[in-house]
A and B are shown apart, each in its own frame.
Chain A
Amino acid sequence: MLYEPAQSVGSLLPSPEDGESLTVEKAIANLKTGDRGDRYYAAWWLGKFRVNGPEAIEELIAALEDEEDRTESGGYPLRRNAATALGKLGDKTAVPALIECLDCEDFYVREKAAQSLGMLGDISCVPKLMQLLEGGLASAMPIPGCPHLAQPYNGAIEALGKLGATEAIPLIEPFLAHPLELEQYGAARAMYQLTGEAQYGDRLVAALAGSQLQLRRAALSDLGAIGYLPAAEAIAETLAENSLKLISLKGLLEHHVKNKESERLSETAIHLMNLMDNLL
């Protein structure tokens, strides 16, 4: 579910609807010494606009240990934003600090850290991510009255899939039978990435025929992220917004043509673009 289209140059520029317009210097200064709201906003802003200079990275890493900004229930809003931003900025020096965040008492900090570790592509976090899955399904059951599970299973599984951590397969596989669909999809997605077996991609295709829009949207996102070509028709036909179908097909197209830009376009690429053109 982390699939995001590449950012264009135009969207890197702050626009009025994004709230207060910052400069890089001001954002970094705000993150260091601003009030609680300024720091929270600056952390988001640096990620959103992909400001990845060494100073920004250093301040964001420092913000992962913030103690000032707390929610009533003990959460760490600034740490969450900083963890998310660091995933977007692509600087691997953040990896050790993000690994430490996997022990944070705030579930959402652990979740953002797991997702960002998946994006940074450094496999040193694999053992720690695998630890989050310990206890298997028995520990991963929904908790009555709690909006989340005991651990960010989906985030950890997604990251392990992205990182190519085949050693985690036995830990991930049981989650195909999790009672929550989103956890099942996350497991199917990772299993496809780790094994290349069609049965896992096909599970996500089957999800496109489900009755809940929210779940079809999730499956579209997952299929786009893994670039599963046999899903193309089902993506074009599922009942969801064209915008989401286009992003999903974009994922298939880019996966297919990556590193083939010097070659003539294949029939498959043209077929995918025909499907996309019809959704515009």
Chain B
Amino acid sequence: MNQTTLASELIKAVEQADSSDSLIDAVEALADARLESAAPTLIAVLSYNNPGAAVAAVEGLVQLGEVAVMPLLNLLDDYNYGGRAWAIRALAEIGDPRALETLLEAAETDFSMSVRRAAAKGLGNLLWSKIPAAQVRQTQARVGKTLLLTSQDPEWVVRYASVAGLQALANAVAIEQSDIYSLLKSHFQQMLAEEQDLAVRTRVRRAMQELGR
């Protein structure tokens, strides 16, 4: 079977699945095949309101990486909220900077804490090497600003994710941008003193420990 035939077989299996379990199996098979032409089908699955299938579809999209980014960004115009949330999770994991604006907005304003936490972590893990060198500094400063804001989110899990994002950002800026780096370090010190949640505080200690190395 060549790739095109394989893709159409696997896609047909997803479209024709008649139970939750068979849908999950079909999506997993399609995701594992790692075919670029599978992206639209995997994205459609995000709106099926089947969490198991959506998890498998997100994994498949993350494995596809940058070829999935534009289709995912286009999906965000849709009104299906459930699909939107999964798409933002996929974009957060892929880390392609074309999703920057979307992730910044999701981290700051999405009403679902699981979207805010995924976006916050994703912002710290953007693929900086894909940004034109002249814009890296400015972009990192913007991301830093957003993560400082989300590190004061009312939900502990968003603050926790923001610390993970800030740690990754601090690692990325460590050498060239000592001003951002020292700002992040002093922010961690402030969080350690003021944060009420033990798990978040522990995550801050970890970030400081790793940065101190």
One of A3-11, A100-108, A113-121 at the interface? A3-11
Contact assessment for B196 and A242 in the assembled complex, using a CB-CB cutoff below 8 Å: no
Contact assessment for A273 and B202 in the assembled complex, using a CB-CB cutoff below 8 Å: yes
Q: Which of B148-170 contact A (CB under 8 A)?
A: 152-157, 159-161, 164
One of A90-98, A177-185, A251-259 at the interface? A251-259
Q: Which of B179-213 contact A (CB under 8 A)?
A: 196-199, 201-203, 205-206, 209
Task: Answer whether residue B65 sits at the interface, using C-beta atoms and an 8 A cutoff.
Answer: no
Contact assessment for B206 and A270 in the assembled complex, using a CB-CB cutoff below 8 Å: yes
Contact assessment for B202 and A277 in the assembled complex, using a CB-CB cutoff below 8 Å: no
Which residue on chain B has the smallest CB distance to residue A264?
Answer: B209
Task: Answer whether residue A239 sits at the interface, using C-beta atoms and an 8 A cutoff.
Answer: yes
Interface majority SS on A: helix, strand, loop or mixed? helix
Interface residues on B, range: 20 to 34
Contact assessment for B197 and A6 in the assembled complex, using a CB-CB cutoff below 8 Å: yes
Nearest-Cβ distance from residue A100 to partner chain B, whole angstroms:
34
Nearest-Cβ distance from residue A116 to partner chain B, whole angstroms:
23
Which residue on chain A has the smallest CB distance to residue B202?
Answer: A257
Interface residues on A, range: 20 to 34
A10 to B152: give the CA distance in the assembly, Å.
8
Task: Answer whether residue A265 sits at the interface, using C-beta atoms and an 8 A cutoff.
Answer: yes
Task: Answer whether residue B121 sits at the interface, using C-beta atoms and an 8 A cutoff.
Answer: yes
Nearest-Cβ distance from residue B152 to partner chain A, whole angstroms:
7
Contact assessment for A254 and B153 in the assembled complex, using a CB-CB cutoff below 8 Å: no
CB contact between B153 and one of A10, A13, A273, A280 (< 8 Å): that residue:
A10
**Which residues of B sit under 8 angstroms from A11, Cβ to Cβ?**
154-155
Nearest-Cβ distance from residue B109 to partner chain A, whole angstroms:
15
Contact assessment for B160 and A276 in the assembled complex, using a CB-CB cutoff below 8 Å: yes
Which residue on chain B has the smallest CB distance to residue A251?
Answer: B199
A263 to B197: give the CA distance in the assembly, Å.
18
Chain B interface (Cβ < 8 Å from any Cβ of A): 51-52, 113-114, 117-118, 120-121, 152-157, 159-161, 164, 196-199, 201-203, 205-206, 209
Chain A interface (Cβ < 8 Å from any Cβ of B): 5-6, 8-11, 13, 239, 241-243, 246-247, 250, 253-254, 257-258, 261, 264-265, 269-270, 273, 276-277, 280
